[in-house]
Amino acid sequence: MSWYAIDAVDRAFSRTRKALFEPFDFWKWAKLAIIILLLGGIGSSYGGSGTNYRMGPEDFNNNFPNIEPGRMPVFPFGSNEIGLSYIQSVSPSAIIITAIVFILLLALIFLYISSVMEFVFVESLVRNEVKFWNYSRRFLGKGFYLLLVRLALGLVFLALLGIAALPFIPGILKRPSDFALPAVVGGIFWIVGVIFVLILVVGAISSFLSLAIPLSIYRKTGILSAFGLVFANFRKSWQEIVVYWFTRFLLGIGIAILTVFLFGIVLLVLGLVFLVTDGILYFLFSSLLSDPLSWILLIPFVLIELALIFGTLLFLGVPLTVFLKYHLLSFLETWFVGAEIPFFDASVQEPETEFNEPESAL
173-207 pLDDT, tens per residue? 665 555 566 666 777 777 888 888 888 888 899 99
Q: Is 300 part of any domain?
A: yes
19, pLDDT greater than 50: yes
The answer to whether 217 touches 138, Cβ cutoff 8 Å, is no
Please report the beta strands in the chain, taking only residues with DSSP state E, as ranges in sequence order: none
Note whether residue 59 is domain-resident: no
Taking residues 62-70, report their average pLDDT.
Answer: 48
Q: Are 33 and 40 in contact (CB under 8 A)?
A: no
> Mind listing the pLDDT tens digit for each residue in 261-282?
999 999 999 989 988 988 888 8
Residue 24 CA, distance from chain mean position: 26
The Cα–Cα gap between 114 and 42 comes to 9
Distance CA 302, CA 295 (A): 10
SS3 state of residue 152: helix
For residue 232, being part of any structural domain is answered with: yes
Q: What pLDDT does 349 receive?
A: 41
Q: Average pLDDT of the chain?
A: 79
Residue 79 has pLDDT above 50, yes or no: no
* 73: pLDDT strictly greater than 90: no
Per-residue pLDDT, 170:
65
- Concatenating the DSSP letter of every residue in 305-325 gives HHHHHHHHHHHHHHHHHHHHH
Omega of the bond leading into 23 within 30 degrees of 0 (cis): yes
Tally of structural domains, the chain:
1
Q: How many helices (H) and strands (E) does the chain have?
A: 12, 0
- The confidence band for 27, taking pLDDT boundaries of 50, 70 and 90, is very high
Longest CA–CA span in the chain (Å) reads 95
Residue 67 lies in a domain: no
Tell me if 60 is assigned to some domain: no
How many residues appear in the chain? Answer: 362
- What is the per-residue pLDDT for 55? 40
The residue type at 178: D
Q: Is residue 54 part of a domain?
A: no
- Cβ atoms of 32 and 318 closer than 8 Å: yes
Q: Is 120 exposed, middle or buried (0-12, 13-18, 19+ CB in 10 A)?
A: buried
Percent of the chain with pLDDT over 70: 76
Does residue 104 form part of some domain?
yes
Class of residue 18 by CB neighbours under 10 A (exposed 0-12, middle 13-18, buried 19+): middle
Residue 325 to residues 4, 35, 356, Cα–Cα distance (Å) = 15, 13, 29
Lowest mean pLDDT among 26-40, 72-86, 341-355: 72-86
Residue 335 domain boundaries? 4-40+80-344
Choose between 291 and 30: higher pLDDT: 30
pLDDT of 149 > 60? The answer is: yes
Amino acid 167: pLDDT: 73
Residue 324 confidence (pLDDT) = 94
Q: CB neighbours of 59 closer than 8 A, spacing ≥ 6?
A: none
Determine, yes or no, domain membership for 193.
yes
Interval 305-316: pLDDT, tens: 899 999 899 999
Q: 71-75, 231-235, 332-336: lowest mean pLDDT where?
A: 71-75
Residue 50, classed as helix, strand or coil, is coil
Rounded CA gap, 215 and 230, in Å? 9
pLDDT digits (tens, 9 = 90+) for 232-255: 999 988 899 999 999 999 999 999
pLDDT-based confidence at 148, cuts 50/70/90? very high
